[in-house]
Structure 1
Amino acid sequence: MSKSAELMAKHIQDEIISKCPPDPVTLHISSVNLKLIPTQFLKGLDSRTTLLLRILENLNDDHVDAVGLFGMGGTGKTSLAKEVIARVKGAFAIKVMVEVSHAPDFVRIQAAIAESIDLLLHNVDDVGQRAIRLYNRLIEVEKEKKVLIILDNVWHKLNLDEVGIPRTCKLLLTTRDKEVCRLMDVEDGNIFEVGVMRTNEARELFKSQIGNQADLLEYKNVVERLLSKCGGLPLAIVATANSLKDKKLSSWENFADDLEKPISSQYSGDYRQAFSILGTSYKSIQGEEKRIFFFTCLFIPVGSSVSIETLMRYGMGLNLFEHVSKLSEAVKRAVTWADELTLSSMLLEGDIKGDVKIHDIVRDFAISCAARDEEHKFMVEGIPRWLDDDTLIKYTAMSLTSKNDYSRLSGVEVVSFKF
């Protein structure tokens, strides 16, 4: 275990001991932690540098209300938005970034924005009343300070009035669909596409993640093979690099061999190649307990980050620590697993230091894996109507974080459920 992981484990253990156990579905709400912004994001990436400068120019234009970024998942829209936060500096006194996702949680979104302007909403349950208070406070704050609100990963038109965001605030939104930008009244001249990387930029990103190893002559051919399968998608490039860092040449060649095999029919759509790469990384996860621990990240509500302590409690529910006799050992093991999964790009650093979250493409991939696992079948995001009760009872864990109808569970004998 690394020194940082040991310190994190000690901190979590002290937190558990010093307080009553929290509700396991209660998550930290916060704006983006500026310390987590990648400092080398633009190194060697000329197209991204040019795009960033255009975005900053438009955001600083008093005649522009909103700027939109669109592109397929995994192209780096969120990373680019974080870089914007780092570089607008004094232009905006208040900067807040919150993920919206395909199932917007207005309470969570409102809480993140409210925190940035020191507005307390925890004692207000009604979403409409929260929106009114948030709207009025933002109007008041804007009289003296400029506010930039970044709405990340927007899937559908978001009604700003229902959230409580006045149009006086400057907006930056990221989405996969250009039409979403237009539906939210972003003018075409302020909408920018974030596409896949050019070959030279993909190579630079790969090298920035993996180090000098990629420059070795004997690795040159396999690097090109790997990059050709990544298709310029930053998510795939980073996942590949992190899976191979400090590994021997034979491991690189085996990884490339796997990627060059016909893609499994279980992967379909625009992200078949990304899923194939994630599948190869997933196979490298060592140990059954660690693999199931990765599945517990599916219990994180979409768009949220979660503490490692919470994931450890999920793991306890699934008996992942049944052979561990001390709390400190369980904490260290959970922190180590989370650290290793983050280093391999299967998890991301969360909104708060020490928290983790999961990219929506990785989440979709993990859901497909968890549903196929014969020994530990997980179900996420509701119960399909076609699923009969005999099949339902075979699941060992189920996520109830979405707002679906779970009335079918009443009367069903879920003998296999562990969590």
Structure 2
Amino acid sequence: MKRRKFMKGAGYLSLLAFLQACRLTDLIGNRESSNVITARTPTALPTFTPSPTLTPFTVPTDASPTATGTPTPESVEPSPSATTEPTTEAEPTATPTPTPTPYPPGPPSKLGLFLTKFEGQVLEMLETAQPALIKTLEYDANYVAGLKAAAPNSILIARMVLGDQNLDADPLALAQEYTEQLLPLATDTKRMDAIDAWEAYNEPVADTADKMKRLADFEAERVRIMAENGLRAVVGNFATGHPPLELWPDFKPALDAARQYNGFLGLHEYSAPVMQFMAGDNQPDGSPSAGDEGWLTLRYRKIYRQFLEPMGLGDLPLLITECGVDGLVQPRPGPPEARGWQEFIPTWIEDGYRDDPPGVYMDQLIWYDQNLQQDDYVKGAAIFTVGTNDSRWNSYNIVGEGSGRMFDLLTQYLEVHPPA
């Protein structure tokens, strides 16, 4: 990035740092609590035993150059000696944690960030790295203007937090109601210049043909109204493993509108205990390989190959608007109560992964990124989450307490995989 552009962004963001310290908790304290599905039960999956033994997945060496962490030995208290003149023994010297080996340069990364609030580490990242996608639930006009100025090459999307979507309601009236709430915010000059597209409802549950048709009509009308006002949209934003594959033809009106008005399709892709579970050969015992596709992560390939390509929509831009490790996916291996990646660390160690949890999680994200890079229609994938005010999401966090050097590793990786 040219320094003048960054300094413009840094100026915005320095101001925001002060403003956010004064107002952020009250502003978005409850934003992450909407539309939470208690269990992300995927659809259209092969029949399998709920708790199979997972074969540890290994990322190729050239794709995961993170250093293996060396456990720091605990200090040992010397036992008192019975002699009158005990010999003083030197205490053992702790082995220092190795400095991570820099990731080698590579093709442009498609990994991005999911933001719920101001995070100082994000400002530091944007000095040297440009995520492909930034999704934010904080859409203060100065905040998003600062983000865009600091990361002009990143796709920036936002979501206004709403209640649950009523798919029994008149979809056209619902679209009108939604846009009446959104337009006064989204048409602000700073927001229009900064935000590339807006999502609507989070993880709508369209599990019947009738509900999917109503959702499609809602999205198509929403996209049309927004386009009339100079705004773009992200349609869908379904939960991981959803919707049932056979319902995709019923969503075509929304996809056509996204194509007509320069929008995006949005999907969420999570798995657990690792991101590779139920993708490729990492299937439950006795289940066949999924090839280069998946039932949770990499499910998007099934959608595009089986449905969008035959519809003539195979190049519709796709945003993975949430991704990562999520224990709400059921059934799966690992402790049933585990949620975010931090709570699967004991499982990873038991399954034979190295004792470097941030490095292990980064390996999974690199595996995912390498797959995304193979598909031109994928434009970015937002890692959930960078910061949170809600304790339910603490174990998903890649900054702050419990995350170790995770954000440093991601920053280092993005620095050498810049946007095209």
TM-score above 0.5, yes or no: no
User: The TM-score by the shorter chain falls in which range?
Assistant: under 0.3
**Higher-helix-fraction structure:** 1
The structure with higher relative contact order (CA 8 Å, sep 6+) is 2
